[in-house]
Amino acid sequence: MALVALLVSALPVFAPPASAQVQEIQPDENLVKPELIADVDAVKAGEPFRVGVHFTIQDEWHIYWTNPGDAGIPTEINYDVPETAMVGATRYPAPIYFGAGSDLAGYGYEHETLLQNPVMTTDAASGDIAIEATVSWLVCREKCIPGGKRLSLTIPVGAATKPSAHATLFDKYAAQVPVPAEEFSGVQFTGLLDRSGVAPNTEFDAVFVAKAQGDAKIAPLNDKHRHFFTPQIPENYEILEAGQAAANKTGDSEIAATLKARTYPGEAADEKIGGVFQFNLTQNGETKPVSVEYYISLPRVAEGAEVEMIVLPAVTASQPPASGAAGGGYLTTPATTSLGLRLLFALVGGLILNIMPCVLPVISIKILSLVKQTEMSAGEIRRHGLVYSAGVLASFLALATLVVVLKSGGEAVGWGFQFQSPTYVAALTTLVFAFGLSLFGVFEIPAFGANAAANASDREGLAGDFFTGVFATLLATPCSAPILGTATAFTLSASTPELFAIYGLIGLGLAFPFLVIAFVPALYRFLPRPGAWMETFKQLLGFTLVATTIWLVGVLGAQIGMDRLMGFIAFLGFVGAGCWVFGHFGGVAATLQRQMAAGVAGSVLTAFGAWMYVDLAFAETAVCDDTTASASELDFSEHIPWQAFSEKRVAELSGTPVFVDFTAEWCLTCKVNEKTVLETSSVRTAMAAHGVVPLKADWTRQDATITKWLERYGKAGVPFYLVLPKSGDPIPLGEVITPGQVTDALKRAAEG
């Protein structure tokens, strides 16, 4: 989807009644000069006329069409007219293609253009018709500069309509506006989809064919700036690739174009896709360039619905494919990977999660429970291992179910998405805090419930093993491991069965080491014997959960702000008091009635603390150090001077090497990479030496733009690192990085 035009805001307007006047000052008046004009000097009531904005653009600079292409913002005009006049839709001339092979390739206009609108007056029109236009654009060359203007124009209502000196200019550009295919003679247009219907979050292909009729002939324009096919699709779709080809056949003339696109998640009504077709038409001995717009229906179906696949005719490209992805530059489509390989990655990635920092506290607790199980029979050991694995798998399948539900509702979700919810983070923080208190001996869950995971085997109960598996899953999801990112990225477009298979195999990988130990009793000889040391070790593990609690509190603070965080910390005090009441008055030796009473008292105390102090509303978005400074103005001496990531900022920095850190406060892998790699002196020195501007794409909260960029590079979560060079292809880096990898990528980016 194209860069959001609302990022470019117009300045205030003060419009005196006069002929067209520019009311604001833009950064450089010579780059773009807009003028509001009409094709009449006066109009008779009840008759139509045309109004438009004439853009004069400095040489080598350009503005954008409705589909800007790889990078840009569509040029837009919004009119304000009295009730005695009605303004029709803007008529855009057929665009040119510029920047081939560069990072600013796109569709738009150079030198000059006129965007015009029909205006119809009512019979009640009298006096003057005051017209105001709010215009916004992005002008680019090696860099991009947004602009906005308020223009005004007054048209007198008279006894007769009088053409203005601009009438011929309107006619000139009206001839360049694409003609609807149904109104065009001499050429027949057809379009074909590769399926009978398109589901949400699905890639699809289409072929469009222009076929000359009778003795007419058509051929591509001999102009590298005017493509035969310029795609145009609704905003809730992504253009992946548009190509064109010419194929001459005996007795007729045809040109075919291909389109590869993708629907975004969520149900949608039937749409139309197509675009503008520009070619030379030879008819009756005369050859002239023409432009036609043609669209076909795009039937939408629900996710999982059965569709009929259609074999499209082969098309051999005679022109290089043109990207049409809207919504920012440097966008690529990830290479495809077979389902079998993705499933293998899911299994191996889940296995690697066992050594990631997020999960280590729970894994340590599970190892402690294994030590306690060394004196059990082989059958009991297997049973405990299976129940722990069941807890892991059940949790991952529950998470997969949630992903399916959210995707069917139109949400774009990725790995660890639940940590973007303050409610989830607060609930997990409370759980981890209470679990840590249990390891310190503040309380134990008696037999009527389920023992804390580290104490479960004391009573040979299985509930604690299941809970440990659930707990491991809860803490695993903010971590991304090598290979795991490739597997989870496939869930972005996977069918429901494939998604469940991937999440299930990640869970199986996480549980696999303990399944092996459970079914190979000989491995138990490598574990230490039970003893008094275990109580001390259990309390040491409590400190790992204290550290986890501190980390989660920091994540929550980044979401809700310091004021609300202090209230939540006060609530944790009530949670601690409630746990103490439960442990002191309802311990394992207490009667069932006493345990129930202590449980109710502790719960009431906790609920009171929540009612008094918990407010989980999002705080205002935090801003990075400097959001506008150029590379030469940045100071890398102490730390990286991050700027906030946005598509607008990326466009502004075109021609400048950029490093984008896709991160989140809840991502421990991200934090480890930032401390041990990114903030090292070698990386900071390289950024400064190569004139790199660092951007931070913070995914702590849900952000549709960041999610979209992650998806386009085949990533379902963070961390992800992207180096955008001065020119050429982007350089993506993996989840696990080294200073050498980063500095090498920065050097290549600076060399362009």
pLDDT digits (tens, 9 = 90+) for 240-261: 777 655 444 433 478 888 888 8
pLDDT of 498-551, one tens digit each?
A: 888 888 888 898 889 888 888 887 777 777 777 777 778 778 888 888 888 888
Q: Higher-confidence residue: 172 or 462?
A: 172
The token pair that represents 722 in the structure block:
């992207």
Using the predicted structure, report yes or no on whether residue 361 has a pLDDT greater than 90: no
- Average pLDDT on 339-343 reads 75
Using the predicted structure, report yes or no on whether residue 174 has a pLDDT greater than 50: yes
SS3 content of the chain, % helix, strand, coil (to 5): 40, 25, 35
Residue 626: its pLDDT value, please?
47
Residue 100: its pLDDT value, please?
62
Q: Where in the chain is the domain with CATH 2.60.40.1250?
A: 5-176
* Nearest to 634, CA basis, from 695, 575, 573, 583: 695
Q: How, if at all, do strands 643-644 and 693-698 pair?
A: parallel
Q: Higher-confidence residue: 481 or 376?
A: 376
Rounded-to-integer distance, Cα 63 and Cα 93, Å: 13
Residue with token string 């406060």: 665
Output the CA torsion 441→443→445→447 (10° steps): 80
Q: Higher-confidence residue: 474 or 82?
A: 82
Using the predicted structure, report yes or no on whether residue 742 has a pLDDT greater than 70: yes
Using the predicted structure, report yes or no on whether residue 1 has a pLDDT greater than 70: no
Residue 335: its pLDDT value, please?
43
% of the chain beyond a pLDDT of 90: 23
- As a whole number, the mean pLDDT across the chain is 79
CATH label, 180-298, candidates 3.30.70, 2.160.20, 2.30.29, 2.60.40: 2.60.40
* Nearest to 113, CA basis, from 63, 158, 149, 72: 63
Per DSSP, the residues of 142-200 read: SSEEEEEEEEEEEEEEESS-EE-TTHHHHHHHHTTSPEEGGG--SEEEEEEESBS-B-T
Residue 657: its pLDDT value, please?
92
Using the predicted structure, report yes or no on whether residue 624 has a pLDDT greater than 80: no
Using the predicted structure, report yes or no on whether residue 329 has a pLDDT greater than 50: no
CATH of domain 5-176: 2.60.40.1250
Rounded-to-integer distance, Cα 568 and Cα 615, Å: 7
Rounded-to-integer distance, Cα 213 and Cα 274, Å: 21
CATH label, 631-751, candidates 1.20.950.20, 3.40.30.10, 3.40.50.1820, 1.10.645.10: 3.40.30.10
Using the predicted structure, report yes or no on whether residue 7 has a pLDDT greater than 50: no
Q: Which of 37-41, 228-232, 556-560 has the lowest mean pLDDT?
A: 556-560
Say what angle helices 681-689 and 739-751 make with each other, to 10 degrees.
0
Confidence band of 745 (pLDDT split at 50, 70, 90): very high
% of the chain beyond a pLDDT of 70: 80
Residue 4: its pLDDT value, please?
31
Residue 120 forms beta bridges with which residues?
Answer: 48, 86
Residue 80: its pLDDT value, please?
93
Q: Where in the chain is the domain with CATH 3.40.30.10?
A: 631-751
Rounded-to-integer distance, Cα 273 and Cα 265, Å: 17
- Asked whether the beta carbons of 194 and 225 are under 8 A apart, the reply is no
Using the predicted structure, report yes or no on whether residue 586 has a pLDDT greater than 90: no
Residue 461: its pLDDT value, please?
56
Residue 640: its pLDDT value, please?
92
Rounded-to-integer distance, Cα 7 and Cα 30, Å: 22
- Average pLDDT on 397-405 reads 83
Residue 164: its pLDDT value, please?
94
Which helix (H) or strand (E) element contains residue 537?
Answer: helix 533-560
Rounded-to-integer distance, Cα 369 and Cα 468, Å: 10
Rounded-to-integer distance, Cα 650 and Cα 654, Å: 6
Using the predicted structure, report yes or no on whether residue 15 has a pLDDT greater than 50: no
Q: Which of 134-148, 168-182, 454-468, 473-487 has the lowest mean pLDDT?
A: 454-468
Q: Which of 27-31, 372-376, 451-455, 617-621 has the lowest mean pLDDT?
A: 451-455
Q: Number of helices (H) and strands (E) in the chain: give both, helices first.
A: 16, 27
Using the predicted structure, report yes or no on whether residue 451 has a pLDDT greater than 50: no
Q: Higher-confidence residue: 692 or 271?
A: 692
HSE value, Cβ hemisphere, 13 Å, CA-based, for 161: 16
* Maximum CA extent, the chain: 106
Q: Which of 338-352, 622-636, 672-686 has the highest mean pLDDT?
A: 672-686
Confidence band of 155 (pLDDT split at 50, 70, 90): very high
Using the predicted structure, report yes or no on whether residue 61 has a pLDDT greater than 80: yes
pLDDT of 591-602, one tens digit each?
A: 778 888 888 988
Rounded-to-integer distance, Cα 693 and Cα 629, Å: 9
pLDDT of 415-439, one tens digit each?
A: 666 777 788 888 888 888 988 888 8
Per DSSP, the residues of 586-647 read: S-TTS-HHHHHHHHHHHHHHHHHHHHHH------PPP--S-SS--GGG---SSS---EE--H
HEC profile for 33-49?
EEEEEECEEEEECCCEE
Residue 469: its pLDDT value, please?
82
Residue 452: its pLDDT value, please?
38
Residue 39: its pLDDT value, please?
95
